[in-house]
Structure 1
Amino acid sequence: METLTKYEESLMRIFWKLNKALVRDVLNELPEPKPPYTTLASNIKLLEKKGYLDHRTYGNIHEYFPTITQTEYRKTSFNELLEDYFEGSVENVLSFMVKEKGLSEKDMEELQKLIDNMGNSSQP
């Protein structure tokens, strides 16, 4: 699937929240200043072309719905981020988080507990 812009991601968050929506439903969810209806409709069509949305037609009205879950998108996006910026290394991600984001000692202890629990749950 093609990469989404930040704006397209914001539209997808609305679709994930609503599960299905008409263009006007999405427009109602957007903050001010709202884009023109036709501009929003074009962006939604682009999301459909990229494979993130599909629609059902009722007369001349299209009801759009996501074709990918937010969890699936998050997983794909994170894996791309991991490959593109951290050479596929989880260690590099954690190192970045500790150095650049200032993880506290408590945060690191929680991460260690999570790692330990995941290791224990995978054993027979």
Structure 2
Amino acid sequence: MESLTTNEEQVMAIIWSLEKALVRDVLNAYPAPKPPYTTLASIMKQLEKKGFLDHRTYGTTHEYYPLVSKTAYQNRSFNQLVTNYFEGSAKNVLSFMVKEKKLSGKDLEDLEKLVETLKNQHTS
């Protein structure tokens, strides 16, 4: 699976939320400043070439739909992030998040409960 640019990710996020869309549907859902229609159409064609989208044709209109799920892309992107920046260690990710104050006290409590639940499942 290829990497996506920031603009391509933004378009995919819209299409994942809509499930299927014409270029104008994506443009309507796009936050300001909106790109020109032709630029957006080009991004969607590029996403199709990369294997993220396909389309159905109705006359001269193309209705696009995702070939890659949001979950699959999230998993790949997160695994790549962990590998490239945290030596492949989830512990390093969590340590970084704690040090950078990206986790609240509530988040830490929830993580502790999750760890305890997982430990109990493994010992049962």
So what's the TM-score if we normalise by structure 1? 0.91
Q: Which runs of 5+ in 2 are unaligned?
A: none
Q: CA RMSD in A?
A: 1.6
Show the counterpart of 1:116.
116
CA displacement, residues 37-64 of structure 1 (integer Å, 9 cap, x when unaligned): 1111000001111111111111111110
Q: What is the letter of the counterpart of residue 27 of structure 1?
A: L
Residue 40 (structure 2) pairs with residue 77 (structure 1): no
**Partner-residue secondary structure (3-state), 1:3:** coil
**Partner-residue secondary structure (3-state), 2:55:** strand
In 1: Cα distance, 2:62 partner to 2:79 partner: 33
Q: Which runs of 5+ in 1 are unaligned?
A: none
**Partner-residue secondary structure (3-state), 1:33:** coil
Aligned positions, number: 124
In 1: Cα distance, 2:82 partner to 2:50 partner: 22
> 1:100-115 to 2 correspondence within 5 Å?
100-101=100-101, 103-115=103-115
Report the alpha carbon displacement of residue 68 of structure 1 after superposing the two structures with TM.
1.1
CA displacement, residues 19-42 of structure 1 (integer Å, 9 cap, x when unaligned): 000001101111222211111100
> 1:15-34 to 2 correspondence within 5 Å?
15-34=15-34
Report the alpha carbon displacement of residue 102 of structure 1 after superposing the two structures with TM.
5.1
Percentage of pairs with the same residue: 62
